[in-house]
């Protein structure tokens, strides 16, 4: 019943134009860069993985690849926080075919882009063998969902054989790989998920950073407030500050660079763990060697809407349209992407 209710809400066409709305800036302005518009991708850990698949599915016309690390399938919660627990712990109770139907129906009424856009996309799915938060079997549900839409199954890479806890696996930073990774949720697994997913998404020929590679580009703060509707800024449950890593080769804007959006997980935003994720998640070093700009949107904890852990919205705390092209967080993030890429 819960999933049926969400299915109906998901189908309601909802037009939310920007005309008549003003945005406001609080801090440095996010700049436009010389971006290859065919090379925009997303990824995330935990709730960030949920947001990554939402952005990919909602805006598949513009997003060509997605990486999911320990996250639930698209639209799995049905907009119900109680059901979200099932989406993390009981893969046998989650129907990939039902989620596929919901997705196709949403595309039919225009709440997401046409699913045909995903046919040639690259997908990376990771779940740790020791994950005590998200059952590794959820990775197989994500795999089944994406293999329904992606024509070549070789374009869907699944990694389920690393003995990691619920964390962002890195090559050499963070806690013990198979132990709880608080407070940063970064773990030293002698494996860089950031490199593996980016390398898969971008064709398999990226330069791999050594342990000594330095990210000598610019890690810049920018105003996320610039992308909120001024009438409802609190509804986003997003920080006023976001981050962007601009590789050395992309700074003068003469070189065409690719763009990747990396979403942190619950309790991993800068308001919780400072700059640990944006500096040590492994993305910047890969970006530096391969001219990939890394955009780091930031969620934050809030009481209204109720989001005490600073998660990205994948169960509807910002409203019933959270997983559509009218949702608060997706539209803000899309505006960031559009700004950086000049879409």
- Annotated catalytic sites, by residue? 46, 131, 166
Q: Tokens 């449950």: give the residue.
A: 237
32: helix, coil or strand?
Answer: coil
As a whole number of angstroms, the distance between CA 87 and CA 75 comes to 10
Name which of 192, 162, 195 is nearest 178 in CA terms. 162
As a whole number of angstroms, the distance between CA 184 and CA 187 comes to 8
As a whole number of angstroms, the distance between CA 178 and CA 62 comes to 36
Q: Tokens 């925009």: give the residue.
A: 40
90: helix, coil or strand?
Answer: coil
In what side-by-side order are the strands of the sheet with 156-159? 156-159, 122-126, 65-69, 35-45, 257-263, 292-296, 241-246, 218-223
Write out the two tokens for 182.
Answer: 């608080």
Name which of 249, 242, 269, 258 is nearest 335 in CA terms. 242
Pairing outcome for strands 168-170 and 241-246: unpaired
Within 8 A by CB and 6+ apart from 286, the residues are 192, 194, 195, 198, 199, 206, 208, 209, 292
CA quadruple 253, 295, 50, 238: dihedral, nearest 10: -130
Within 8 A by CB and 6+ apart from 128, the residues are 70, 136, 162, 163, 164, 165, 166, 167, 169, 178
185 burial via Cβ count (<10 Å: 0-12, 13-18, 19+): buried
């Amino acid at each position: 019943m819960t999933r049926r209710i969400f299915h109906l809400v998901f189908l309601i066409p909802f037009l939310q134009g920007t005309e008549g709305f003003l945005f406001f800036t609080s801090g440095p302005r996010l700049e436009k860069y010389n971006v290859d518009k065919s090379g925009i991708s997303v990824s995330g850990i935990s709730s960030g993985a949920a947001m990554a698949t939402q952005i990919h599915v909602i805006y598949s016309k513009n997003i060509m690849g997605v990486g999911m690390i320990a996250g639930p399938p698209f639209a799995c919660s049905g907009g119900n926080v109680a059901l979200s627990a099932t989406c993390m712990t009981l893969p046998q109770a989650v129907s990939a075919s039902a989620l596929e139907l919901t997705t196709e129906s949403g595309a039919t009424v225009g709440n997401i882009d046409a699913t045909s856009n995903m046919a040639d996309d690259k997908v990376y799915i990771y779940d740790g063998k020791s994950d005590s938060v998200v059952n590794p079997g959820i990775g197989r549900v994500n795999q089944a969902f994406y293999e329904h839409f992606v024509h070549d199954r070789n374009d869907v890479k699944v990694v389920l054989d690393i003995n990691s806890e619920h964390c962002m696996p890195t090559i050499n930073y963070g806690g013990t790989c198979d132990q709880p990774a608080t407070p940063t949720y970064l773990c030293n697994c002698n494996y860089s998920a950031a490199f593996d997913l980016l390398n898969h998404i971008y064709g398999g020929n990226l330069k791999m950073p050594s342990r000594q590679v330095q990210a000598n580009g610019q890690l810049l703060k920018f105003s996320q407030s610039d992308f909120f509707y001024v009438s409802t800024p609190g509804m986003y449950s997003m920080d006023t500050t976001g981050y962007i890593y601009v590789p050395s080769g992309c700074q003068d804007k003469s070189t065409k660079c690719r763009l990747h959006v990396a979403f942190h997980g619950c309790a991993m935003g800068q308001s919780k763990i400072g700059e640990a994720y944006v500096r040590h998640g492994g993305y910047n070093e890969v970006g530096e060697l391969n001219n990939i700009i890394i955009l780091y949107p930031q969620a934050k904890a809030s009481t209204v809407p109720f989001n005490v852990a600073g998660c990205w919205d994948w169960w509807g705390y910002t409203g019933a349209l959270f997983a559509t092209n009218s949702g608060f967080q997706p539209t803000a993030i899309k505006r960031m992407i559009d700004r950086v890429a000049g879409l």
